[in-house]
Amino acid sequence: MSILEVKDLYKSFGKTQVLRGISFSMEQGEVLSIIGSSGSGKTTLLRCLTSLERADSGSITVNGKTVFDPAAGVKLTREEARENQLQFGMVFQQFNLFPQYSVLDNVTLARRLHAKELPDYASRKKQIIEEIETDAMYLLDRVGLAQKAKNYPCQLSGGQQQRVAIARALAMKPAILCFDEPTSALDPELTGEVLAVIRSLASQHTTMIIVTHEMNFARDVSDTVLFMDGGIVAVKGAPDYVFGEGATPRMRTFIGKMG
């Protein structure tokens, strides 16, 4: 069973059709990169998957459960919507760390808030918080920032902030981790450290969808590459195929421009 199945997704903003029938599926442990020029709908697709936008029509099925299908009358309860929200982790282009919290607190905040709903929270408070912090420190160590746990986001470089954002997303144990152009807001010399973290996640078979402009990176790290053009999936397949024989003329032009 696929972990994610998207069928015929449509989305317009006003008169502009951004997604015009997107369908694809992905398996557990798969790394899927989405490439395409600006305005091709990559980010909108990701935002529809992560519930930051609501698509107009089509269906989204996560782990066998249909979470979006207005035509079939699928409507999630608040609890189900939140459960589905947490299936997807999201790393933003602009990091979106919480500036007033330390690095550690950025990673633990949401889990600490969720923990308050546990029935045994009052009696096990100390132990629960400890567990959450231990997990967070482990994740910060994985992104190489354990020694910055007490720092604030404004004291970190862009690359470090993005690595904290990755740890923060991982802390929720998402089934699928999504990246929206994770290196586009970074200075060129800082992209490497972020890509290295994503690469190490890929080697551990973390299921990921990565919207990116880093062509070489997409090529190395992905199991599947999806080239979007004008709101549709123009080419999809293994990197060698997509960048090789599968490439449409428009995609060749696009890759040429990206260098």
d(CA 19, CA 234): 12
Toward other proteins, which CB reaches closer, 86 or 215?
86
> Are the CB atoms for 89 and 174 separated by under 8 Å?
yes
> Are the CB atoms for 45 and 58 separated by under 8 Å?
no
> Considering only residues 39-58, where is the footprint of other proteins by CB under 8 A?
50-52
**Contact pattern from residue 145 through residue 174 relative to other proteins, giving x for each residue in contact according to CB under 8 A and a dash for the rest:** -------xxx-------------xx--x--
SS3 (DSSP) at 13: strand
* Separation in Å, CA 112 to CA 104, 115, 155, 238, 250: 12, 5, 24, 40, 48
75: number of Cβ within 10 Å: 10
User: Does 125 contact other proteins by CB under 8 A?
Assistant: no
User: Does 28 contact other proteins by CB under 8 A?
Assistant: no
Alpha-helix residue ranges (DSSP H) falling in the chain = 42-49, 78-87, 103-115, 121-142, 158-171, 188-203, 215-221, 239-243, 249-258
Toward other proteins, which CB reaches closer, 12 or 85?
85
Task: In angstroms, give the least distance from the CB of 169 to other proteins.
Answer: 8
> Considering only residues 84-123, where is the footprint of other proteins by CB under 8 A?
85-86, 88-90, 92, 94, 96-100, 109-110, 113-114
Toward other proteins, which CB reaches closer, 153 or 239?
153
88: number of Cβ within 10 Å: 22
Toward other proteins, which CB reaches closer, 153 or 231?
153
User: Does 232 contact other proteins by CB under 8 A?
Assistant: no
**Contact pattern from residue 185 through residue 224 relative to other proteins, giving x for each residue in contact according to CB under 8 A and a dash for the rest:** ----------------------------------------
Toward other proteins, which CB reaches closer, 100 or 253?
100
Single out the residue of 146, 144, 136, 255 nearest to residue 194, CA to CA: 144
Task: In angstroms, give the least distance from the CB of 229 to other proteins.
Answer: 25
Toward other proteins, which CB reaches closer, 88 or 254?
88
Sequence-ordered list of residues with C-beta below 8 angstroms from that of 79, at least 6 positions apart, any chain: none
How many helices (H) and strands (E) would you count in the chain? 9, 10
Toward other proteins, which CB reaches closer, 94 or 253?
94
User: Can you give the binding site for other proteins, defined by CB under 8 A?
Assistant: 14, 50-52, 82, 85-86, 88-90, 92, 94, 96-100, 109-110, 113-114, 152-154, 168-169, 172
